[in-house]
Structure 1
Amino acid sequence: MKRVLTVALVIGLSATIGGCALFGSWWGPKRAAWRSEAERACLTAGAVQPSADVRPMGEIDGPGTCGADRPFKVSAVGRRSKAPLNESTALNCPMVAAVDDWFDRIVQPAAEADFGQPVVGIEHMGSYNCRPIAGHRQMSEHAYMNALDVSGFKLADGRTVRVKNGWRSGDAVEVAFLNTVGAAACEDFTTVLGPDAGAAHADHIHLDLARHGQGRRVCKGGSEPVPEGGRLLSFFEGAERTGSVPKGSDGEDEDDPAALDR
């Protein structure tokens, strides 16, 4: 009799645990709908073309709200000319398109103008990381493959211009280049945070496509003025303009995003 009861208890506990896991996946926290909408719009527009450098991945779903529906494994950025990343990384479709656009329109022309040579490589410090913003309950955009931390630019002659050393260096050309690519990034991204945004970004330029309340942008990537509203890629505009979500929940800023380690 004891043996029967023990077996029944084990089966019951297994079913309970399994049920919790099952119902947790059904009824647990969900990613904000605008994230999926932006991905679908990007894919439908053909803004990202799969290649050896941009490979489709399967859905990343969880833990919690983390992940993306149809992300890409990216090993190089740019459309007109490719710049390999120091390490392959996962990005959602809108971020791939925005990074390519920024690189082609801003980074390469600035490098040619300031250094007389192109950028042939990009160093970054990460994209996907299922974590909240340091010290806050709000999830980082990194949790949704919706952010990239750029730390350096490798030039054709082998020199690397790094944010950590170059932002306030005595080399006026490096300073000008980094300020240009950081400031103008807010034309393509909704959040740009460089060393001027605080110590948390002293060694990189944080780029993301967060949705801020009332279409607001956070532009602290350089000293150059950015036209109000910027120029979000067309496939993302609809999702970005749908307004804010409840403060502190998925996708909305805290009071001072520039002071946070996003």
Structure 2
Amino acid sequence: MRSDVEYSPVGEGLGMRDFWLYAWMRRAAVIAAHVTGVSLTIIIAVLSRPGTSEWTSTRFSLFSWHPLCMALAYCLCMTEGILIFSPELSLFCFKSRKWKVRLHWFCQTLALIVAATGLGFIVASKNLSESRHLATWHSRLGICTLAASALQAACGVCVIYPKLLCLSTPPPRLKLYHGTCGLVVYLLATLTIMAAMLSDWYQAMVKGPVWWAIFLLPVFPALVVMNQITNGYLPRKKISS
């Protein structure tokens, strides 16, 4: 015999005062995630100084564009593309669901294009310097993140055009797969960014307590994104026998 057991909605059972505090704490966390993503992008842009690099002692450095492109792709575009759907607060909270989906597609497409550009810069830089490819954990995680991002984009196409692609999987399940894969991609991106901060290039410019502060920055938006996705796709009902 099967019965439906409902999950309690988040925040249910709290008093009005407690729920108000809880709602504002969640809203503050989302705002902080926005600020952290933008701040991290600015920090990496300042450190990389695209076009010039003392690290390579050349007037023009292909390498210097790589961290900037990747920060724009994952710290900014991908983060904002996900937080658009935040129920607590979004930069586009006044837009309809239809517009949020379009903006999400725009941000994620832009993230893929900029990430591919960043990949091109690092490949060209290593070829010019005759350095070995995929020699570090950062580069290996990075290529896995890019591959997962491409697969995630393909999954998103399936969500939007299930009939055109003649898919037999129900749309709710496709959305669940899409959200789960998106979470994996974002966590991979976070690990890749943190691994980049272990590189000789980064540690040559940032040291001491500041290094630890910036090193931990990507963790916060990752936690907010993880919470948003799990709450958004958590089943409301659990089937028990």
With normalisation by structure 1, the TM-score equals 0.29
Compare the two structures and name the one with the higher helix fraction: 2
With normalisation by structure 2, the TM-score equals 0.30
Structure with higher RCO (Cα < 8 A, 6+ apart)? 2
Compare the two structures and name the one with the higher strand fraction: 1
